[in-house]
Amino acid sequence: MQRFSSKLALGAIAAATLLATGAAQADTGKLSLTGGITSIDGAAGGGITPWATIGTMGNELGVSAAYSTLTTQDYGLRTYGLAVGINNRAELSIGRQELDIGKLAFLGGNSIGMNVVGAKIRVAGEAILDSDNLIPQVSVGVMVKQTMPTNGPTQTLDTVDLNAKNVLNLLGAKTEGTEYYVSATKLLLNKGLLLNGTLRYTNANQNGLLGFGAGNGSNNEARLYPEFSAAYLLSPKLAIGAEYRFKPNNLQNSGRALAAALPGNRAAGALGGDFLREDDWKDIFIAYTPSKNVTLTLAYVDLGNVVSSLTSSKTQQGTFLSAQVAF
């Protein structure tokens, strides 16, 4: 997968927006908000989990583009997403994530980027057409991810030189990984309720931003992890909802081994035994669509422990903001 910059991602979003704006805006039959928003990985869904829906507004050919930010006590995450929907059956997406880790105690001004290429195919049901029966829309998908930690300024902890790139090497985490998932989305239109369940097959650490797997044997393999979403339509233009995403915890044992291997009291004080423990993610969101083609989302996100011994806060909570255009 080739590296691409944030400028290129923004250019793709701008080009897609101009292309879609210039197209004829016929009524597609899709309802606002029922397709979800662009997730942090680029696929249509909630903010942190994919749904079975095809997120664009076009029945034959559609396009969506989004920009999101997530700010917590110690981190900043920017995401860019672009998706193309085909015949309301398939979705192709690209995503870019840029994590600012400048507040970490010994990683200095390093940053971590990740590229995501995804594909999703609807294999059963149709959320709106089947809203009056029990059949959900079901889709299967794949995401290919490449993490690119910068070498950045190297900091020395006792006698060990550390930066974001060689820390992943020490932990035995790979910089590339592939995730597979199946999602089922049920829209109860008469009740204004949308429910989604996703099973994701992954070994990603912090969604892949800290690599994939670990060097301590059993925690290196991918496993299935469930994710759940629910949204309630307060009106055709406004929805509230929540998500819960179960996560792998691959790096905890590797983190303990790394802390024990580093020499001196300084290392022991900086790295607690569970500093790389990974917690489940959850959020509460509100989404508003001022027009059929624009969706704005605000969410409170709880990421739990994210390298907690090296930050000012034991857990990371913050605000997620997203703007999406879809045609």
For residue 50, the domain's CATH number is 2.40.160.40
Q: Could you tell me the pTM of the whole model?
A: 0.85
Mean pLDDT, the chain, rounded, equals 83
Question: Could you tell me which residues are beta bridge partners of residue 232?
Answer: 193, 240
For 133-149, give the secondary structure using H, E and C. Answer: CCCCEEEEEEEEEEEEE
Q: Do the domain assignments include residue 184? A: yes
Residue 1 lies in a domain: no
Examine residue 295 and state whether it is found in any structural domain, yes or no. Answer: yes
Domain of 119, in residue numbers? 6-326
Q: Could you tell me how many residues make up the chain?
A: 327
pLDDT digits (tens, 9 = 90+) for 55-89: 888 888 999 999 999 999 888 999 999 999 999 99
Instruction: Classify residue 92: in a domain, yes or no.
Output: yes
pLDDT of residue 3: 44
Task: Examine residue 231 and state whether it is found in any structural domain, yes or no.
Answer: yes
pLDDT surpasses 60 at 250: yes
Residue 214 within a domain: yes
Based on the structure, what is the number of domains in the chain?
1
Report the chain's terminal Cα–Cα distance, integer Å: 27
Question: What confidence score (pLDDT) does residue 218 get?
Answer: 59
What pLDDT score does 135 carry? 95
Q: Could you tell me if residue 176 is inside a domain?
A: yes
User: What was the pLDDT predicted at 28?
Assistant: 47
pLDDT tens figures, 175-202: 999 999 999 999 999 999 999 999 999 9
| For residues 116-134, average pLDDT | 95
Q: Is residue 303 part of a domain?
A: yes
